[in-house]
Amino acid sequence: MSDHLKTAITPPTHTVPPAKFSHGVRKGNILQVAGQVGFLPAVAGQAPTPAGPTLREQTLQTLANVEAVLTAGGASWEDVVMVRVYLTDTAHFAELNDLYNAYFADLEQPPAARTTVYVGLPAGLLIEIDALAVLG
């Protein structure tokens, strides 16, 4: 990839975004993953479907969706320097931390910086996560 061009990243598991944005953008050694939610991998002709109603189901699928964009952009969790988590309910914070710690238990590099904020998301969605990776 050329250092001066922006490249849109859309993994095969994702649909074309519903608005004018990219699931990920890479420019040089920087990869920004847009906010991902807990939708199951895309099925042509079907509306996106949440992985389930629980925070656990949605968090694990959301992390898998972020990872899919990272991989499609030539990165991994080892390259991530910043993660932003958006929760709809403050009561989910402790459970999120447990899931997050377990998911990244085997990470070899120091963990990424993280911010968690509380927001409104479309009905049924409990979590959104974005990530910033620096490669090389």
**pTM, 2 dp:** 0.94
Of 134, 48, 51, the closest CA to residue 99 belongs to 51
One-letter amino acid of 66? V
pLDDT along the chain (136 residues), means of 10: 81 85 95 96 87 97 97 97 98 98 93 97 96 95
